[in-house]
Structure 1
């Protein structure tokens, strides 16, 4: 898919957002090596919550929301 897009004239995207599928990241690196990568926040939150007991979900969700809404990286890394 990505090779076809490049062949048809697509330039490298500035940012690729994905769910963590390893094949996607490998393909992006191969076809558009200058493109930056970012995990999808929805999938990241789902992955984190799946490792926690249900009773911890509200607090973990609140913490993730604070990180997501932080004004800069310093505030996100508290």
Structure 2
């Protein structure tokens, strides 16, 4: 069974691959938000990023310092 955005119920195959590709990054699929998330370690401290799909999550991780989501700590977008 899959969830929103075609994510597996637990999102594990994707998040496990992301964690392997980016050591030190913690990634997960948010069932309540329908978004992909990652906590990315940066020199200035950890940064939470949100993305619409796994490909975008990889971009968010690579550009975490300048990633625009979540804005003001919110995962809600119009």
Same-fold call, TM > 0.5?
no
* Greater per-residue strand proportion: 2
* Greater per-residue helix proportion: 1
Point out the structure with max Rg over C-alpha. Answer: 1
Scaled by the length of structure 2, the TM-score of the pair is 0.29
